[in-house]
Amino acid sequence: MLFFEGYIVGLGMIVFIGPVFFLLLSISLHQGTKAGVATAFGIVISDLICVCLCYFGVTNFLNDTNAKMAILVIGGILLIILGLKYLFHSGKFEDKREVPKGYHYLSCFTKGFLVNFVNPFVFFVWIGVVTFQRNMGDTLYNSLLFFSGALAGILSTDLLKVFTARQIKSILSENVLRNLYKASGLILIGFGIRMLLLV
């Protein structure tokens, strides 16, 4: 059940439109499906490391009420700011084709890993999810099930993007992208407000 709940959370992250989304799309279109799959695995490994860093790093501070409140407040405010940025995005698709040449799968894996890992948004999302999960009083075993499901959900959606890249590109008009950004922005704002309400 916890794995399934985590899987649903992972699937829900498909609505977030950001650098990783366009990286997957570009590499899949210009390098091929296998290169896209390598990129997707780089992204999910990056997410795995982020989860571990957030879970074991945040855990050390959660017994301190002031530290917990600081994490929730800062994370909530930053998510709201990011959400507002998405909400007012122009919706233009900038395909700069900055992808590795040829079928260098290790290069694609590395780029997927780095683009995801250096994005502060990723850490704030996972800090929020981890903090929320820890506040539910779950054990390490239950958290393992939940986050395994979440990562499986993310990998599933990323692979779906890879295999449907051409179809996705054909429907990504400026108006559609603008609406996607707005939806992502509203979700981020909602999640940020939810974090603030936990204070």
pLDDT tens per residue across span 51-99? 988 888 765 655 566 766 776 777 778 778 867 877 786 656 555 444 4
Place 16 in a pLDDT band, splitting at 50, 70 and 90. Answer: low
pLDDT (average), residues 170-192: 74
28 or 18: which carries more pLDDT confidence? 28
Per-residue pLDDT at 99: 44
Q: Helix %, strand %, coil % for the chain, to 5?
A: 80, 0, 20
Question: What pLDDT does residue 47 have?
Answer: 93
Lowest mean pLDDT among 40-44, 62-66, 123-127, 173-177: 62-66
Per-residue pLDDT band for 185 (boundaries 50, 70, 90) equals confident
Look up residue 13 and give its DSSP letter: G
Tokens of 64: 């301190």
pLDDT digit string, tens, across residues 143-169: 888 899 999 999 999 999 899 888 877
Asked if the model's pLDDT at residue 13 lies above 70, the reply is: yes
Give the separation between CA 138 and CA 108, rounded to whole angstroms. Answer: 36
Return d(Cα 57, Cα 37) in angstroms, integer.
Answer: 30
Return the exposure string of 121-137: e unless at least 16 CB atoms fall within 10 Å of the residue's CB, then b. Answer: bbbbbbbbbbbebbeee
